[in-house]
């Protein structure tokens, strides 16, 4: 969706390196969701952010929502091959009626 831009489109990192994926919305966000997808499968929910300045972590993945609620970042520390996949951000611009998605960031982790 043009309302939601993700960068980079793809990323190749060496195992053990840190990385950041960005998601920028053209509208104020009621909610921002991060998902992971493996090829040919459905999306797995990672984290949800709703408040400006909010930050959440799960294992080695941290997601932040900026104060203006229009940009989010996903940071992976000490990447592992198991982190490889497609990371998608999803946005709620309508107060809970539907989620739209960015095009995704394809992450490859070299062992």
Q: Is 85 in the site for other proteins (CB under 8 A)?
A: no
Q: Which of 14, 82, 97, 111 binds other proteins (CB under 8 A)?
A: 97
Q: Which of 61, 65, 104, 109 binds other proteins (CB under 8 A)?
A: 104
Q: Which of 2, 82, 95, 111 binds other proteins (CB under 8 A)?
A: 95
Q: Is 111 in the site for other proteins (CB under 8 A)?
A: no
Q: Which of 31, 61, 63, 64 binds other proteins (CB under 8 A)?
A: 31
Would you say 50 and 110 are in contact if contact means Cβ atoms under 8 Å apart?
A: no
d(CA 110, CA 48): 28
Give strand pairing partners of 100. 91
Nearest to 111 by CA among 16, 11, 10: 16
- Count of residues near other proteins by CB under 8 A: 26
Q: Is 3 in the site for other proteins (CB under 8 A)?
A: no
Nearest to 45 by CA among 61, 29, 68: 61
d(CA 66, CA 38): 27
Query: What is the contact surface with other proteins in residues (CB under 8 A)?
Result: 1, 4, 6, 31, 33, 35, 40-45, 48, 50, 88, 90, 95-104
């Amino acid at each position: 969706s043009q309302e939601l831009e993700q960068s980079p489109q793809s990323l190749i990192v060496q195992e053990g390196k840190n990385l950041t994926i960005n998601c920028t919305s053209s509208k104020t966000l009621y909610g921002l969701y991060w998902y992971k997808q493996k090829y040919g499968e459905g999306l797995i929910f990672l984290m949800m952010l709703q408040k400006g300045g909010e930050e959440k972590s799960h294992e080695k993945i941290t997601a932040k929502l900026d104060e203006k609620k229009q940009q989010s970042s996903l940071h992976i520390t000490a990447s592992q091959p198991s982190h490889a996949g497609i990371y998608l951000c999803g946005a709620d611009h309508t107060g809970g009626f539907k989620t739209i998605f960015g095009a995704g960031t394809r992450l490859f982790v070299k062992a």
